[in-house]
Amino acid sequence: MFAVPNLITLARLLMVPVIAVLLSNHAYTAAFWLFLAVGVSDGLDGFIARRCNVTSAAGALLDPVADKMVIMTCAFVLACNGLLPIWLAAPLIARDVLMLAVGFTDRSLKERWLPPNLVGKAHAALAFATLTLTIAQGDGLIDLGWVLGLLFVILFVTVWLSAGLYFRAWLRGRRNARPEGNQA
């Protein structure tokens, strides 16, 4: 049972190029269903890991990477296809690129972990929901009109709020991690 959540997360990560190809080829129906499955699997792997008490360091690393790769890739392709406004796609992608860069380059994060916050979790859920609806609208499955525009604005706000909270926690942790004699 230990490997199941990690396998689900790995499968989600491996679906990123498939979704990108589908979106690039305007195969929105297939992309919609695959993206929806990826979103559901994100909750499923975490549920299984917590429920069965099989959390792992690999899962703790892979899960946020998979989430960010899915969101960044879809935001990029949807913006290139004209379905997602650049004013939303650019900060959405930049936030996740910066978070990944900090996570992979800051050696102090190996000793201390930045736990997810409620705003970050809400942002991720809203990003998945908004991108899912954007794909569905691109295929003509739904027509949300102004509602999708409102979701874009709310997502834009959560991009900045979640990024600000993350970087504030990161800076606070860096400050607290400094040795006593090195306060410069």
From residue 91, give the alpha-carbon distance in Å to each of 10, 35, 127.
26, 21, 12
Structure confidence by residue, pLDDT tens digits, 61-80: 788 889 999 999 999 999 99
- Which domains are present in the chain? 3-174 (1.20.120.1760)
Give the model's confidence band at 167: pLDDT under 50 very low, under 70 low, under 90 confident, else very high.
confident
Look up residue 51 and give its DSSP letter: H
pLDDT at 135 over 60: yes
- Copy the structure tokens of residue 153: 């604005």
Handedness of CA 57, 66, 42, 3 (dihedral sign): negative
- Copy the structure tokens of residue 159: 């991009």
- State residue 36's pLDDT score: 94
- Copy the structure tokens of residue 114: 């930045």
**79 close to 85: Cβ distance less than 8 angstroms:** yes
pLDDT at 2 over 70: no
Residue with tokens 């990161």: 170
Structure confidence by residue, pLDDT tens digits, 27-51: 999 999 999 999 999 888 888 888 8
